[in-house]
Chains A and B, each alone.
Chain A
């Protein structure tokens, strides 16, 4: 059992395209799938499932969970963990900006309300306050890209798993005020949500500039990794910084556009802006 590699980590061995199993990743994704479909089955049993919303929620969940599987498993997970910072950045974008909103969209409003009822109101409101979630996202983004942290965590499976799950948890928290209907906040409508996402496009500027414009390699993990064909360490780092900025902005502006479109459609119909 101890020879099994459960989660990707920087191993310091020459890269080969020989398939490698990561059962920890499979168990994690399988756990998500089982949890989702158990909830779904319960709602069908209780006669609460409406076919059109169920199809949409299932699609959101499957795309989100599929994206997680794709970037955590071989080969992307292995390359990102030990060979290319740019691939690690793609993992960051999926874990924090793509998969979380899709997973949150797959939860029924009824279940959100059940979550809110079970949690103490004060701490729940504080933790999911947009200023807190944005600040948490900013801090986690900066700390988890700081070279000593990356170089300490990446060589171990547990460290890399901690990093991946921290990004996912931070992403869920970051998207909560945008997607989740609870807690209800007066004045928190489409314009403020769009403002929140626009602010989020700016908070990675420091880390982006640090990665993109530092001439020398920052991460020992990638600098001293066996060479990956086709890209130098320096180009890889620059690409990672650009992906963070451009990829992150593309995802956030897509979300902003969707919110704007929904706001416009609801205004046209004369519906009140959700608070």
Chain B
């Protein structure tokens, strides 16, 4: 009598433990998103003071002038400064945004513009920049200017200017640059910045709302 009871108890315990483990996996969050900022309703970092769109002009990868303010008017515009030799921040940000945008319907994708300004005009030729951006998404806009022009633009958005890391050799030098993506809503203001570490799940939640409803929708949550 004793042995079957013990066996039954072991069976029940083992079976319960397995169920708990399997349920734990099944019930955990479907993605690895960061915590929502309850105060703002957004996954990005809400800026204390919104940054107004600056009307700058640079050449795109086809050599045409790109008037930032007029070309992005009415779009949700993600503005990011970086360079094609960047080993981590730039490719991770752009790959995340591109992956999330591929899941969006055309109607939503067509409301979003991604503008990438090179901080390394020395090595980023128009062809190199175009080919690098096409590796993420062919719709991404690549802009080029002189170091002075780009640094002035960065300052005008309240970002630190880029700089060449003096510790590196002349061939494979690194460029220090702002790591955040500024998100300009159709009201021509950037209310939110997305720092390095923003997950695809964060982009997937914020971008549709920003594009369709604007920044004001965050407070309603």
Contact = CB atoms under 8 A, between A and B. Distances in A.
B95 interface: yes
Given A134-B18, A135-B18, A142-B22, A227 B30 contact: no
Nearest to B28: A146
Contacts of A132: 10, 14
A203 interface: yes
A274 interface: no
Given A139-B17, A233-B95, A218 B32 contact: yes
Interface stretch (B56-64, B104-112, B180-188, B199-207): B199-207
A210 B26 contact: yes
Interface string A175-213: 000000000000000000000000000010011001000
A223 B196 CA distance: 12
A226 B32 contact: no
A135 B25 contact: no
Contact of A223 (B13, B29, B96, B204): B96
A50 to B, nearest CB: 37
Among A151, A226, A232, max chain B CB count under 10 A is at: A226
A224 B92 contact: yes
A interface, over-half SS: helix
B interface, over-half SS: helix
A146 B88 CA distance: 25
Bin the interface of chain B by size.
20 to 34
B176 interface: no
B169 interface: no
Given A224-B197, A227-B95, A142 B32 contact: no
Contacts of A165: none
B164 interface: no
B47 interface: no
Contacts of A143: 21, 24
13 contacts: A131-B15, A135-B15, A147-B32, A214-B31, A215-B103, A216-B31, A216-B201, A217-B199, A223-B32, A224-B92, A226-B91, A226-B92, A233-B200
Interface of B: 10-11, 13-15, 17-18, 20-22, 24-26, 28-33, 87-88, 91-92, 95-96, 99, 103, 196-197, 199-201, 204
Given A131-B10, A135-B21, A147-B29, 16 more contacts: A14-B87, A132-B10, A134-B14, A138-B17, A138-B21, A139-B17, A141-B21, A147-B32, A206-B26, A215-B103, A216-B30, A216-B31, A220-B32, A223-B200, A232-B99, A234-B99
Interface of A: 12-14, 126, 129, 131-132, 134-135, 138-139, 141-143, 145-147, 151, 203, 206-207, 210, 214-220, 223-227, 232-234
